[in-house]
Amino acid sequence: MTRLRTTLLLGAMVLAIVMVFVYDTVRAVVDLDLMGLLILRELLIVAVVLAGYWLLGLALRGERKSIAKEIGRLTIGSAGAIFLLGAMLFFGPAKGTRTADLLPQDSVFGVLRGVTLGVILGGAALWTIQSLRQIVLFKRRKESQRNVIIYLSLLGTTAAASSPVLPLEGSFVLPLFVPLTILAAIVLSFRQNWIVYLSRREKLYTLLYAFLSFLFGLLTVVLIAQDHPVIIEFQQFSRSIYILVQQTAVLSTIYFGMAFISTLFHMPTAEVFERKQSELSSLHNLTRLTSQLLDFDTLVQTVTQMAQEVCGAKAVWLELLAKAPDGSWSTQVVAHRDISLAEVDEVRVALGSSYRDLVVEARSVVLVDDTWNDRRTKGLRDIGRLRGSLISVPLTARKELIGILHAAREMTQGFDQDDIDVLSSFGDHVTIAIENARLISRSIERERLQQELLVARRMQRQLLPSSVPQLERASFSASSESSTEVGGDYYDLVELGRDRWGIAVGDVSGKGVSAAFYMAEVKGIVLSLSRVCSSPKELLVRANEALHGSLERKAFVSLVYAVLNERTGDLILARAGHCPVIHGRGSSGRLIRPNGLGLGMAATDVFEGATEEQVIRLEPGDRCLFYTDGITEARDRNGEEFGYDRLMEIVGRSEDLSADDLKSRILAAVRTFADGAAYTDDMTLVVLQWRAPSAGPSASVPRP
Amino acid sequence: MSDFKVNHREGAGIHVIELKGYLDAHTATDLESAFQRLINDQKFRIVVNCRDLTYISSAGLGVFMAYIEDVRKNQGDIKLTNMSSKVYNVFDLLGFPILYEIYKDEQEAIRKFGESSTGR
């Protein structure tokens, strides 16, 4: 409904009233009692009433304010209408004046008075009906809606039936419908449930308003029943509106009379109800709180504030449990309200751990009715604090105590069963809210760590060679995959000068970040030593020297280091506890496994004594496999390991494969083997393939 | 993961730890705490019986290295026995036999403790 249309409708209503007024004025002077015109006049009035009812309904629905205020406004409005009625009766023509004695101008005034009263009282009646309709329909049920419809139908029928254009005067209709309407009004007046939901303050106002409305209703009933010329003028304007006003006044009297009595009886329980409602809304807010993203401090502050509201406590504080790695626990005050942190600490000391243990063991709300005279809290008397009652609510998440909420009141026996119930359910919500907040912060932290790990992974990838050298007689192929973000596997191919190449493959014990750090350290050590150590054994001995003592005790590094002489085809290798190298020649493979000890496991002398070198003289077509145990220890669904035999078999059948193809074949075989089982270890593989020198003078020279 | 169990028994001042199952990074802590308990109780003569040990990873091997120094400093030792050939291979690859006494049989290890103490 736009503002324009409302204005237009109001204008139309005013116009209709004016037309009725003009017609009545004319009729007072000239005889113009044409039946058609009379019916039209009645119809106009009915239309105005209906339009007014509808507009008022819209206006009242627009603002959903409290019922008490609504009644207040209605009371003031009806007071105005009654005042006008009283004034007209007082200043109008005296009682007993005959219509016939009136001067023509008096009869015009009479018509004006009748119309004014009709508009004002009719408007007040419509307003009353609309207001009462909405009050009765508060928290509606089917039957209350039905009752309202019945009442409105009866009222409408009664009012319409009393119109002079209908030949019902003296028939059964009015004597039947008037009592029925009153009966329906009585039925309606039993709908007073809205009173329960008023606050104490609102109830006080309602008491006043209801009483006044009751009086006004009664006054209206009495006043318009007068045999007074003004009332007769009103009836002449419209009998229907007269009946409407009369019936509404009856309804108002009955309904507000009942409302007054109900409110009066509800007064003693108002406070309790109000408290219940505030508990309810606090719990409701808390439930909302649990789903909100709050930082921890705001959350615990809000929680203590709500706890205070919920039970009307003087002081509230919240302790959370902090569990030490060794299993012991301590509590920490995270929020306090209307009690200083110093006071809380004093109280905590005075209560001692025995009280805390009591709450922990009770696993339910602990109530102390008289703190200074209770054995459990007698320490409070000594420090002269918290005289009165104390309630402590353990916060338990998944059967584990996460904290304790304390609330204190200044009077003894300050908490009743309701407080206990509400605080205990409050405690559950608080627990959830705190747990949620913690989970969120934990998941944010995890996300951050995940990002860091991805950075670490990228950096670690950069420590591995990005490409492998392709030499005239040797081709390489390499691959390294880690099972977690960062791994402990390492390989490198280093050009040593004078046609010599260093090949290193290693594995740091353990996994994760520590392994990744050691791997970086090993790379640095191998890289720098490879420049100065000509023999692989020497390199390993010195690498061990560097690592022994600097690694964690339980950590060690296995490494195989080989030096390939591209001119002679000699491959000298030494093994520090690492997987044996597989040497494939023709259709067979063998394990090259010189003695050796893992890096970092023993002092230099022991290590040096335990480590030996081995030389492989490569022939064209030879393949060498360097790898980590992730390859040989890959497991299938039944837990069986891939093992050396399968690896050697593939190497044996790979005579005509390139280094790349051999690598791919091995990786594919391991993956197929472990299909379905999760990879549990890092896998690194370096393949060296040795071939005959390319066609040239030297190629025809037979090998010695 | 398959189970891992550490069982501990004592006879004549020698403490035998029996390992069963799959010793890897996840289960290594069980063995660690077993060693830690013995060392806290000043028990340094330890035999680890690996008869039912089915697998050992590098993290598992690390546990032995973490405690051997403390134990030897106190005139004790950790001797390993009854390994399956597969498990022995893992120890061997890393060079453990150079640093640890490994015996076929638990009684043999216990006897060695007796010899060394009479020898001292």
Task: Report which of residues A148 and A425 the model is more confident about.
Answer: A148
The answer, for B98 touching chain A at a CB cutoff of 8 Å, is yes
The pLDDT confidence band at residue A217, using thresholds 50, 70 and 90, is very high
- Our CA-based measurement puts residue A704 at a distance from the nearest CA of chain B, in whole angstroms, of 35
Which CATH entry fits the domain spanning A296-442: 3.30.470.10, 3.40.50.170, 1.10.10.10, 3.30.450.40?
A: 3.30.450.40
Residues of chain B neighbouring A507 (CB-CB closer than 8 A): 58
**Domain boundaries, given as residue ranges, for chain A:** 66-276, 296-442, 464-694
Contacts of A206 (CB under 8 A, 6+ apart): A67, A68, A71, A195, A198, A259, A263
- Strand segments, DSSP code E, in A244-388 are 315-323, 329-337, 366-368
Lowest mean pLDDT among A25-34, A603-612, A669-678: A25-34
Spell A303-317 as b/e; 16+ CB within 10 A means b.
bbebbbbbbebbbbb
pLDDT at A95 over 70: no
Lowest mean pLDDT among A6-20, A429-443, A558-572: A429-443
Residues of chain B neighbouring A610 (CB-CB closer than 8 A): 95, 98
CA A308 vs CA A331, A337, A405, A418, A419: distances in Å: 21, 8, 11, 14, 11
CA B32 vs CA A549, B22, B64, B95: distances in Å: 20, 14, 8, 21
pLDDT at A386 over 50: yes
The pLDDT tens digits of the residues spanning A626-654 come to 999 888 888 888 878 888 889 998 988 88
CA A44 vs CA A16, A19, A644, B71: distances in Å: 6, 9, 107, 113
Nearest by Cα to B17 from B75, B66, B61, B82: B82
Nearest CB among A510, A578, A610 relative to B62 is that of A510
Amino acid letter, A311? C
Tell me whether residues B2 and A639 touch, CB distance under 8 A. yes
* A168 and A161 Cβ atoms separated by less than 8 Å: yes
- Which one-letter DSSP state was computed for residue A377? G
Residue in B closest to A601 by C-alpha: B65
Q: Alpha-carbon distance A555 to B28, whole Å?
A: 13
* A459 and A486 Cβ atoms separated by less than 8 Å: no
Residue B118: predicted pLDDT: 43
Nearest CB among B58, B66, B93 relative to A553 is that of B66
Residue B34: predicted pLDDT: 87
Residue A678: predicted pLDDT: 64
DSSP 3-state assignment of A93? coil
Spell A57-79 as b/e; 16+ CB within 10 A means b.
beebeeeeeebbebbbebbebbb
The answer, for B71 touching chain A at a CB cutoff of 8 Å, is no
- Our CA-based measurement puts residue A633 at a distance from the nearest CA of chain B, in whole angstroms, of 10
- Our CA-based measurement puts residue A342 at a distance from the nearest CA of chain B, in whole angstroms, of 42
The pLDDT confidence band at residue B119, using thresholds 50, 70 and 90, is very low
Q: Quick one: A173 exposed, middle or buried, by C-beta within 10 A (0-12, 13-18, 19+)?
A: middle
Which CATH entry fits the domain spanning B4-112: 3.40.50.12780, 3.40.50.450, 3.10.20.30, 3.30.750.24?
A: 3.30.750.24
Q: Which residue has the tokens 């008037």?
A: A178
Nearest CB among B57, B63, B98 relative to A554 is that of B63
* B25 and B16 Cβ atoms separated by less than 8 Å: no
DSSP 3-state assignment of A464? coil
**Domain boundaries, given as residue ranges, for chain B:** 4-112
A interface test, pick of B2, B57, B65, B85 with most A CB neighbours within 10 Å? B65
- Mean pLDDT across the stretch B89-101? 89
Residues of chain B neighbouring A580 (CB-CB closer than 8 A): 93
Kindly report the three-state secondary structure assignment for every residue of A40-86. Answer: HHHHHHHHHHHHHHHHHHHHHHHCCCCHHHHHHHHHHHHHHHHHHHH
The pLDDT tens digits of the residues spanning A535-558 come to 999 999 999 999 888 888 888 899
| Superfamily name and number for A464-694 | PPM-type phosphatase domain (3.60.40.10)
H helices present in A137-228, as ranges: 142-161, 173-188, 200-224
* A649 and A662 Cβ atoms separated by less than 8 Å: no
Tell me whether residues B65 and A579 touch, CB distance under 8 A. no
